[in-house]
Amino acid sequence: MVEHCKRLRVQYRTQHRQSWTLLKNLGKLNGGLNAGIAKVSCSNPSARGMVFIEKRFGAQEFRYRVAHREIQLLHQISDHMNIVTMVDHFLDERALRAAVYLEYCDLGSLDAVVYHVAKGRRVHERKVWSWFFQLCGALTYCHWGPEPGKSDDEIFQSGWSRVYHRDIKPGNVLLTKEGGQIVVKLADFGCGVSEDHLAQAGSEQQAIRQQVGTPGFDAPEYPVFGGASDVWQLGVTMMCLCTGTMSPKSRMNPGGQLWDTWRPAGDNYSSRLNSKIKLCLETLPWQRSTSYQILQALDQASVTEMSTLSKDKRPLALYEPYDRESSPARNHIPALESGPEWPVFLAQGRRHKWNQMNAPALSFF
């Protein structure tokens, strides 16, 4: 365990704190680094009727310390409302078994939405802006901590260790209903790594060149990674959502579907949305905007966009029937009743999402 980052220090428990009951095995979803996923319930009376997710790790994951790393990362970052919350864990070194227990997102993952878009459905542009903002807020929190804009020295002194997800894709974005709107959550940090973990690598090249992630979402600089490669993956994920691209073409996925880096959202969305997604997709990583810069750009654009886009008449529906003529990109009608307001900038002033919902006060760590 790394000693010089305060936020990553975890006292691993050999037994889970709560009592968990299996409801349904879900198998190995999305091909992640795990030994299986299951729906479970908790015996805690305050969690009666609630469903959670158990993500298990076996001997293979112990070999690469995947379980140790994911527990550490979630310990630092899962108090952001757009990152899936870890509520319990255990890690048994002798038996080579471990598990994390996570909040359950009842609307599934974004890849199911991409599938329906590929079949002709369409996501309202208000939702696309909102989900883009939320995911960028989660990524900013991973990269910069609760006070983005600090220098590297200030971040280090604060005890924060930058976290790089390294496998952002629709299958690792979960959806649920909160506060009258659909909220997205960044999930599955099995490929994730912190700067403290990188500092312990045997060499600089070993630290910055690791072949992880999903073909099609690899940045041009792959296998070199960092905050810039996470930003690229965010842009590709948003492109998939807008265009229904299931398997994007890339250097590591040459047989994938072609897509347009100049208009990544396609012709059915506004030029302004296309331009903001394009910020993620600069070919040279040193010219690519940071997650915080993109979040600021989205925040500045929110006032204009919320006043010009047509009303989302189904704020709790994932998608609506595809209709080019009613595309919000074509009908810039002032929305007097715009539904949920633009999401609060959640990368600052962290508030735990469960506290917001008056959910049971389970002991997380």
Q: How far is CA 281 from CA 130, 228, 289, 294, in A?
A: 19, 9, 9, 11
Residue 247: what pLDDT? 98
CA 144 to chain centre: 15
pLDDT higher for 59 or 32? Answer: 59
Residue 121 sits in the same domain as residue 140 = yes
Residue 154 sits in the same domain as residue 303 = yes
Most confident of 5-19, 55-69, 207-221: 55-69
From 54, 89, 104, the end of a domain falls on 104
Summarize pLDDT for 178-237 with one digit per residue, the tens: 999 999 999 999 999 998 888 776 544 454 445 689 999 999 999 999 999 999 999 999
Least confident of 96-100, 237-241, 336-340: 336-340
Residue 306 sits in the same domain as residue 188 = yes
Q: Which residues fall within 8 angstroms of residue 231, CB to CB, at 6 or more apart?
A: 139, 280, 288, 289, 290, 291, 294
Number of domains in the chain: 2
Residue 29: what pLDDT? 61
pLDDT higher for 354 or 234? Answer: 234
Residue 61 sits in the same domain as residue 181 = no
Summarize pLDDT for 311-349 with one digit per residue, the tens: 999 999 998 865 554 444 433 333 323 334 444 333 333
CATH number at residue 31: 3.30.200.20
CA–CA gap between residue 4 and residue 159 (Å, rounded)? 8
Looking at residues 131-135, what average pLDDT do you find? 98
pLDDT higher for 160 or 306? Answer: 160
Looking at residues 92-113, what average pLDDT do you find? 95
CATH number at residue 182: 1.10.510.10
